[in-house]
Chain A
């Protein structure tokens, strides 16, 4: 129940066995291979081992191309559970062999490349058409043929908007208008158009007191005319250089758009068929298995390159779990009798990965440790120390007997269904145990689907009401302050557990001053503070209060003298000690402790929220029960839908906030994760795992 001991293992084998050796290690799945070059002196005569990976890279590229196209038209759904923990495919050697023999990667890649090409070309054209239609839309109602506008050789034309108030200035008797012709361009009405095109721009301008007009003038006079137009506030419309009516161009574009969209739809249909698998061994699953297969081979090649070779020998080095040593050596001796294996303890300055091992019953919570980040190899695994508190927090937040039973049933069903998936199985067991905790706390606080046990809902003397009365210890709605104090007391206990674990970590590392300063001094100070606060809020005996003052003062003196121990100079040490009391220098400090403790009030808030929302649904259902004929049916429907909704929302809230109390308030006291996990070279990954021979599931 701890961080597993690792051994540094080095294998020296004949040079020609290198590929076979790496393959055997890969099949065994026990050794994480590291770069040997980093641990060799510079002048040793060993060279890096070069292995080409073109074939693997090429296959993986093709597989990814097909998968990417599938994801465009038939995206893989990624549920909430998959987001929390890997949900790998479980395959077998037999299935891999079948896929390798039956799936024609080359043909499928060629086929999907063609589809991809059609799709991308169509998308590009669709984009261009849509952009052009967007430009033409506002001027689609121009009635004339553009050929008439652009063809005259000696006459220039301009179309645009003139402010209505300035139209009066267009006097044919005054220069330069004597040589200019103009007329208003009314919007054309196309019988088949039905306002399909966006002419809002034109309509808006018209509405803003602007008139659309076309002007004709000799090209020689263009400069003068354009200046005069500018003077009357003329705003020109740039027409596209085409020789037809804009509406005709729009219709042509629409036809093209439909054609290209049909092409995309056709591609989508074909890709969906491909993703679903037209026949066995053809679908997305086969691709994932192929990907896992080629990735594994590539990983093997990369691992082989981490070794070095001389003229005769090949050297490979890495880590194995201490418990696997005998198995590993036996395999090497059997398969490679001419090889030599050395096993030694890793040196303290090595950057070691971490592997955690906990008993089956405690395993679910390991999921949270992995989510936050693994402990350092020299540290300790926090998983065993957050079993009870996590389930208690979850149980209080979700405290309802009915919902707890629902969660137990759901959790038990999913646990039975997901035995092959270790990560998901852990999550479902968290739900199962959390459900048990919810039933316990729900019974203690008297919440059975909220207040559904009441006689007005289920009649006098119903079994739920009898059970509720028998089990009820504290109704938080009735004694809220007491419930709040209990929630905060749990917070205090959890904080103290965190400090004790900090001490434990320091003692493990033989840092006895740290254990005293960061552990005992804080425990003494905070115990004193609690007694003083107790006096402010309630009647506590003067003896306890006085003891509290002594503890608080003594603890503070201890903290001031020791917290700045890493700083230089007596004044620096003293100032560091004083500042650390507030809590600037880290997650420790009086304000931090008060804040973190108060944060546990969410236990009461969430517990109350679960019950109150349930009560609200009961009330709504009760109100409609008296409706003639359908009342009882509506009563049941509202109860089912309402409670299911509350169950889902409250379960999510309980899980997230219990997790938060662990990650922020509890881990903040003693734990810093972030070490890389131990990853032995094997086929298994977060995407795909190999079913072991004789594996029943767990």
Chain B
């Protein structure tokens, strides 16, 4: 797709995609850093827990993927990558911009909060390594809302760009 296709509506849509993956990625990095600080403290005393803490450390990384998926969907559904190029009106572009922004914000905040929840779980594992299974549950609950945001984002993108788009899969 050549650059002259980028009309205002489309530009807004890709701006939204940028916010979605940018905020989500930033939030994930921040969340992992929070968990990593806690991990480093625990590993100084109990290096044998590294394996169990690795997953706790990776938990806040999910939101980055969710933002990435939202951005990729915006690109594919509008024809920037593969698929057929569709017209994006100014109204649709604006809607998609705010969908991307909403998704990005939800991912950004939930990733940071999940990092804090992971840090709490890491403290629990440090004291009671056998509770690793239960400690994973706390941050997983926080992630529920990142998932809800992604779900809403996917629905918005699909139906704003191509109603019943999935019905034409592979055609």
Contact = CB atoms under 8 A, between A and B. Distances in A.
Q: Most chain-B CB neighbours within 10 Å: which of A84, A481, A668, A676?
A: A481
Interface string A467-483: 00000000001111110
A602 B51 CA distance: 21
Contact of B76 (A371, A480, A664): A480
Contacts of B140: 587, 664, 668
Given A481-B73, A664-B140, A671-B133, A371 B167 contact: no
A484 B170 CA distance: 13
A170 to B, nearest CB: 54
A203 interface: no
A479 B165 CA distance: 12
Given A538-B166, A595-B143, A660 B151 contact: no
Interface in A660-677: 660, 663-664, 667-668, 671-676
B133 A659 contact: no
B164 A539 contact: yes
Contacts of A671: 133
A373 B136 CA distance: 12
Interface stretch (A214-222, A312-320, A604-612): A604-612
A537 B65 contact: no
B66 interface: yes
Interface in B116-149: 129-134, 136-137, 140, 143-144, 147-148
A602 B82 contact: no
Contacts of A674: 130-133
B143 A599 contact: yes
A604 B69 CA distance: 8
Interface string A266-307: 000000000000000000000000000000000000000000
Interface string B50-77: 1110110011011001101100110011
B148 A591 contact: yes
B20 interface: no
Interface residues of A, number: 48
B99 interface: no
Contacts of A660: 55, 58-59
A414 interface: no
Interface residues of B, number: 43
B147 A598 contact: yes
A659 B158 contact: no
Interface in A664-697: 664, 667-668, 671-676, 686
B65 A605 contact: yes
A583 B77 CA distance: 32
Contacts of A659: 54-55, 58
Given A372-B132, A484-B69, A587-B137, A656 B55 contact: yes
Contacts, number: 119
A656 B50 CA distance: 12
A592 interface: yes
A599 B65 CA distance: 9
A83 interface: yes
Contacts of A85: 51
B26 interface: no
A587 B137 CA distance: 8
Contacts of A479: 82, 169-170
Contacts of B143: 595, 599
B150 interface: yes
B121 to A, nearest CB: 11
Contact of B133 (A538, A604, A667): A667
Main secondary structure of the interface of B (DSSP, over half): helix
Contacts of B51: 83-85, 371
A78 interface: yes
Contacts of A373: 129-130, 132-133
B55 A663 contact: yes
Nearest to B43: A83
A644 interface: no
Given A372-B52, A481-B166, A663 B65 contact: no
Nearest to B61: A657
A667 B137 CA distance: 11
A576 to B, nearest CB: 19
A358 interface: no
A606 B65 contact: yes
A594 interface: yes
B47 interface: yes
B133 A372 contact: yes
Contact of B150 (A480, A481, A598): A598
Contacts of A478: 82
Contacts of A371: 51-52
Nearest to A672: B133
B81 interface: yes
Contacts of B136: 663-664, 668
Interface string A357-372: 0000000000000011
17 contacts: A78-B47, A84-B54, A373-B130, A373-B132, A481-B73, A481-B165, A482-B169, A539-B164, A598-B66, A601-B66, A604-B69, A609-B68, A660-B58, A660-B59, A663-B136, A664-B140, A673-B130
Given A668-B137, A671-B133, A672-B134, 16 more contacts: A371-B51, A372-B52, A372-B132, A373-B132, A479-B82, A479-B169, A537-B164, A537-B166, A538-B164, A591-B148, A598-B147, A598-B150, A602-B62, A656-B58, A659-B55, A664-B59
Interface of A: 78, 83-85, 371-373, 477-482, 484-485, 537-539, 583, 587, 591-592, 594-595, 598-599, 601-602, 604-606, 608-609, 656-657, 659-660, 663-664, 667-668, 671-676, 686
